[in-house]
């Protein structure tokens, strides 16, 4: 094992699904790709995402206090890459990429129409950690395509799975392992 | 699309790698599996993990203010499942599973010896969100197996990849997509 006091590369948590974060303030609507996200609580449902203050989405989010998080299938990897590598300060991504939008029910920010699942979130708080801001969002609505998830809610579709630095991989379901938790419970 | 105001299932962010969280207070040492984790900042490097107060590890972490996060290969999926489905309040997991430990350099908590990467973390703060506590840790050391990551640091190994509710999948590298970010940059 090699040891580094200051990591020179931070991809150890990868691969990860990508959350396409939607933010809107007035007429300004933007979407960006975020790999640094996690669930935080079951009840109430809370989701968190880390966003650099350099991102155009950051200020929209700060001002509006609402966002959506859309999860897409592997077939949309190129769209996700584009949303991650372009800035809303330079282009209108909705027009440029002809994005189909999902009408929100609770917040005022749409989701991505091609998504298999979309969280609608209200920001509970934002915390500054190092060079990013962590937005903590109460999930106030969930849209999902029931064909994309199995009977207990696990993904049954091929997600956008990011390996880091512009590379995406797929899941190999032929080598799925399922454990019986009762066997281990102690 | 189906809409739920209160999600009945929360696996939309899956699959995800699993961080095996090590915590130690005095003679008490424990490891648990955590799927709700994310990076939070590049510089300084910061990592966060959400842990239920019901977990034995939670109190160790609260008291010691230090932890390790170990990332393992798919071949150790059963070990990860066991660490997630058993409690340190009932068994000594280190003895029970004959865990090999990785000697830490900065903190007093070891990592998992079979890991391909281990973060050593000092807790910057803990925040209570719903039914979990989010521990924010400054990464003060990184151990990694250089054979497990490629030239830019992306995973080159087969990670433990959790699909939810006791199911693990593998990566299919034969269908990797790599984009040229310059093509999209605007």
3-state secondary structure chain A: CEEECCCCCCCCCCCEECEEEEEEECCEEEEEEECCEEEEECCCCEEEEEECCCCHHHHHHHHHCEEEEEECEHHHHHHHHHHHHCCCCCCCHHHHCCCCEECCCCCCCCEECCCCEEEEEEEEEEEEECCEEEEEEEEEEEEECHHHECCCCCECCCECEEEECCEEEEEEEEEEEECCHHHHCC
**Would the CB atoms of B152 and A172 count as touching at under 8 Å?**
no
Domain assignment present for A58: yes
A47 and B CB contact within 8 Å: yes
Which chain A residue has the Cα nearest residue B11?
A154
Domain assignment present for B77: yes
Q: What predicted TM-score, i.e. pTM, was given to this entire model?
A: 0.97
CA dist A123 and A62 (Å) reads 9
**Would the CB atoms of B184 and A82 count as touching at under 8 Å?**
yes
pLDDT confidence band for B174 (50 / 70 / 90): confident
A171, two tokens: 């899941």
**Would the CB atoms of B130 and A7 count as touching at under 8 Å?**
no
Q: What total number of domains does chain B contain?
A: 1
> Quick check: A46 pLDDT over 70?
yes
| Mutation target among B12, B16, B144 for the A interface, most CBs of A within 10 A | B12
pLDDT at A159: 97
pLDDT at A186: 63
Cβ–Cβ contacts within 10 Å for residue A109, how many? 25
CA dist A116 and A48 (Å) reads 19
pLDDT at A85: 92
pLDDT tens, A82-94? 999 999 999 999 9
Domain assignment present for B2: no
Domain assignment present for A7: no
Domain assignment present for A63: yes
Element (H, E) at B58: helix B56-64
A103 and B CB contact within 8 Å: no
Question: What CATH number should be reported for the domain holding residue A119?
Answer: 2.30.110.10
Domain assignment present for B173: yes
> Quick check: B7 pLDDT over 90?
yes
Residues of B in contact with A133 (CB under 8 A): none
Burial category of A165 from C-beta neighbours within 10 Å (exposed 0-12, middle 13-18, buried 19 and up): middle
Range of the domain at B37: 16-184
pLDDT at B186: 63
Domain assignment present for A10: no
Q: Which of A8, A131, A169 sits opposite B41 (nearest CB)?
A: A131
């Amino acid at each position: 094992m090699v040891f580094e006091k200051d990591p020179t590369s931070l991809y150890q948590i990868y691969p990860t699904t990508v959350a396409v974060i939607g933010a809107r303030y007035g007429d300004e609507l933007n979407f960006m790709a975020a790999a640094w996200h996690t669930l935080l609580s079951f009840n109430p449902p809370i989701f968190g995402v880390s966003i650099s203050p350099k991102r155009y989405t950051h200020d929209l989010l700060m001002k509006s206090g609402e966002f959506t998080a859309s999860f897409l299938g592997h077939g949309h990897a190129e769209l996700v890459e584009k949303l991650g590598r372009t800035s809303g300060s330079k282009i209108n991504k909705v027009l440029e990429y002809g994005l189909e939008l999902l009408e929100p029910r609770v917040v005022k920010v749409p989701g991505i129409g091609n998504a298999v699942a979309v969280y609608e979130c209200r920001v509970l708080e934002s915390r500054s950690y190092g060079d990013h801001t962590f937005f903590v969002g109460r999930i106030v609505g969930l849209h999902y395509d029931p064909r994309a998830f199995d009977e207990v809610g696990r993904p049954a579709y091929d997600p956008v799975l990011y390996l880091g630095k512009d590379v995406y991989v797929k899941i190999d379901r032929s080598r799925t392992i399922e454990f019986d938790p009762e066997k281990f419970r102690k």
